[in-house]
Amino acid sequence: MAWQLTDDVETFDATAGEFLRARPIEHTNLLTLIDTLRRRGRNAYGPDDPVFGWWSTPAGQVAAVLLQTPPHPMIFSELPPRAVTAAVEALAGRALPGASLPANAIDGFSAGWRSRAGVRAHVTRRTRLYRLSALTPPAAPPGRPRYAAPADRDLIAGWLLAFHDEIGERRPSDPGARVDAWLEYGGVVLWEDGGPVSMATRSRPEAGTVRVQTVYTPPIQRGRGYGGAVTVAATQAAQKDGARDVVLNTDLANPTSNALYQRLGYRPVEDRVIVEFT
């Protein structure tokens, strides 16, 4: 019952892929990361190589995984209690800027890592994963949705940076490349009302699941229903593409967005906590 670590995405997918795809809703972020690293190369998220790991039961079944794309925090799946302690030992000596864990595992890992690495920890974000139950569109505001085109690239890249600044998250190192990847498969929906006023992006389907991401409306356009409308449009686009489940993540510090997504028909699945180590 020890963690096995690798920097090879194919080895990781061959070993832990079945575990991840058995619960694609909870593992949506991890599956998207793996897909991106396989398509765009191991340094898609930064110059340093990624770290993958899995923890197995005595019977040899994978029961937990971890994944880090430096310089971003390490992401853990659900963790049996014994795997939390073992993860602290397995990662000893590594520079760990932060970690994202299920809410019921964060205290154990954070305390263990503080003691082991001699660092301080503080919570930077609490998130909630939602899954669509039955879509309930609100009354639509003026305008209409449309898929983004290459001509929208600079606008979307600017909104992407503003989105990350607003939620206090590290900016992508190459926002243009991120936008290009979305545009390849029609992954950005814009709400148009005399020009683009809001956007929502969505992930590629993984194990039948699509994640709505990066819902952003510039401050001057808020309060008019554009955010809800573009979220509905992105959700419907995912369903049209054959998604069996549509999910999204929210910041629990934002009661407005959490209430909105529940009104649209999304229901809570899992809470996570992101901590930073300094």
Q: Dump pLDDT digits (tens) for 163-196.
A: 999 988 888 888 999 999 999 999 999 999 999 9
Model confidence at 229, in pLDDT bands (50, 70, 90)? very high
pLDDT tens for each residue of 137-172: 999 999 999 999 999 999 999 999 999 999 888 888
Tell me what percent of the residues of the chain surpass a pLDDT of 70: 100
Q: For the chain, what's the residue count? A: 278
Query: CB atoms < 10 A from the CB of 262, how many?
Result: 15
How many other C-beta atoms lie within 10 A of the C-beta of residue 278? Answer: 8
Return d(Cα 214, Cα 247) in angstroms, integer: 12
The encoded tokens of residue 136 equal: 């309930």
* Residue at token pair 């430096």: 70
Question: What's this model's pTM, rounded to 2 decimal places?
Answer: 0.93
Determine the distance from the C-alpha atom of residue 236 to the mean position of all C-alpha atoms in its chain, rounded to a whole number: 19
Cis amide bond preceding 71, omega within 30 = yes
Q: Where are the alpha helices (DSSP H) in the chain?
A: 9-21, 28-40, 81-90, 106-117, 153-167, 175-184, 226-240, 255-263
Q: Using one digit for the tens of pLDDT, what is the confidence trace for 51-62? A: 999 999 988 999
3-state helix vs strand vs coil in the chain, percent to 5: 35, 30, 35
